[in-house]
Amino acid sequence: MNAPTATAHLMPEIHLRDVPQALIEALQNRFGAQCSTAQAVREQHGRDEGSLQAPPPSAVVFAQNTQDVADAVKLASQYEVPVIPYGAGSSLEGHLLAVQGGISIDVSRMNQVLSVNAEDLTVTVQPGITRKQLNDAIKDTGLFFPIDPGADASIGGMSATRASGTNAVRYGTMRENVLALEVVTASGDIIHTGTRAKKSSAGYDLTRLLVGSEGTLGIMTQITVRLYPLPEAVSAAICSFPSIEAAVHTVIQTIQLGVPIARVELIDHHTVRMVNAHSKLSLREEPMLLMEFHGSPAGVKEQAETVQDIASEFGGQAFEWASTPEERTRLWTARHNAYFAAVQSRPGCRAISTDTCVPISRLADCLLESVDEAEASGIPYFLVGHVGDGNFHFGYLIDPDSAEERAKAEALNHTLVARALSMGGTCTGEHGVGIHKMGFLLDETGAGAVDMMRSIKRALDPKNILNPGKIFAM
């Protein structure tokens, strides 16, 4: 867990609401040892992996089932006190911060697989189960859950932020893969949305409304997601390029030709150097694509040969193939450890992460202009991207005690987002809005759309207790 950076001019707005002692006592009476007011526990639940900070919640309730969540919310509603859902704590945009005070509801103990419907390719789980735990639990079925945001996030948190990650280019995001929900509303009622059927025209699509709502409209207590058959054959490859531009154009042509590549990740030469040092590898320190192909043996071979031919046209070289699980794990572990490798490359630094997504046709322009600005800033950085769907991340490595470096990093982020929006992109491809991107959301959608979101929030949460102060001001 990163220690938050104290930077006054970038602090979120703090408007603490009163948390009556009577509520704390009522929670302790109902939950006993499941309710903690210990300072260390509260501080752990009052920050995420982002860089913003706020005072911790007044109490933490460790829910073990849906009724626990409902009872905690009913008590909070009675006293009009905010509640903030907590899963794995891996979010990046201030989603967990108690900017209006309140209590945290930790659902990490709700981590069970409730039912597997292998014939229908679905599974229903509690929100606290992580993606790795889920895949371990279903590995004997011949199925897997493909959404992989990098961190071992909880399925509840991934649904709340509409996460995606490395496999999204083939399997989509949480938006496409959540079928049904059980949700505790702001009044403490328990509702169900969606079904296990592949399609429905029954009323408003409340499931899609709640997926991506970042805990502001309800607390998810059961989630039904799609599963996929484990591919008959899997092959991974890395390929180095003379420039980022060459790597990106390889990706663009691959996607435009309709090659059903499962994963295609870009890491720049700075990141390769950091990964080599961290993971004790000897990769060529040039811009690199990490690719993975799923399908039949013949299909995988055809996909790989096609992409290799495309890469060769753009100067790609040093292809390295990994067909065994151990070899693939080695490559993807290095990719997933890129963040930690970067942080260790500058001892004592903080990594300020960005998250934008643009149409694939504008990816090269957006990336190259942003790289030029990052190089000119003098701030060390790393670059990784789920470039198959136009999504990429810079990580600016700043001295946490330097207001100047923090201001430079935020200025780079602001310019990057503005560029992405001008190219028909979005301010966040997968991290969510939280606190940090509230202003960007207004730029992206316009005042009318944000007002409509506020109207929905007021209708479903009239006391404004569900994770208030996130996505937009209320």
For the segment 120-140, what is each residue's pLDDT rounded down to a tens digit? 999 999 999 999 999 999 999
- What is the maximal distance between C-alpha atoms in the chain? 70
CA angle in degrees (0–180, nearest 5) for 109-113-118? 165
Beta-carbon neighbour count of residue 417 at 10 Å? 22
How far is Cα 415 from Cα 427, in angstroms, rounded to an integer? 11
Q: Which amino acid is at 171?
A: Y
Does the pTM exceed 0.85?
yes
Condensed to tens digits (0 to 9), the pLDDT of residues 260-286 reads 999 999 999 999 999 999 988 888 999
**To 10 degrees, the CA torsion angle through 183, 186, 188, 193?**
-20
Alpha-carbon gap, residue 406 to 5, rounded angstroms: 9
DSSP class of residue 426 equals B
Distance between CA atoms of residues 378 and 382, nearest Å: 12
User: 3-state DSSP call for residue 130?
Assistant: strand
pLDDT given at position 50: 81
Radius of gyration of the chain (CA): 22
Of 248, 383, 418, 236, nearest to 320 (Cα)? 236
Q: In whole angstroms, how far apart are CA 443 and each of 186, 341, 389, 450, 455?
A: 28, 33, 22, 10, 19
Q: Which residue has the tokens 């090269």?
A: 364
pLDDT at residue 9 in the model: 37
Per-residue model confidence (pLDDT) at position 3 = 39
Q: Which alpha helices (H) appear in 119-205, and where do they start and end? A: 131-137, 155-161, 168-171, 174-177
Distance CA 20, CA 43 (A): 19
How far apart CA 396 and CA 465 sit, in angstroms, is: 34
pLDDT of residue 75: 98
- Residue entry with tokens 């069970």: 112
pLDDT of residue 4: 38
Residue 84, C-beta contacts closer than 8 angstroms, at least 6 positions apart: 45, 57, 96, 97, 98, 102, 103, 104, 105, 215, 467
Residues of the chain with pLDDT under 50: 1-9
Nearest 5°: the CA angle 382, 1, 23 is 140
Per-residue pLDDT at 10: 53
Q: How far apart are the C-alpha atoms of 230 and 236, rounded to whole Å?
A: 15
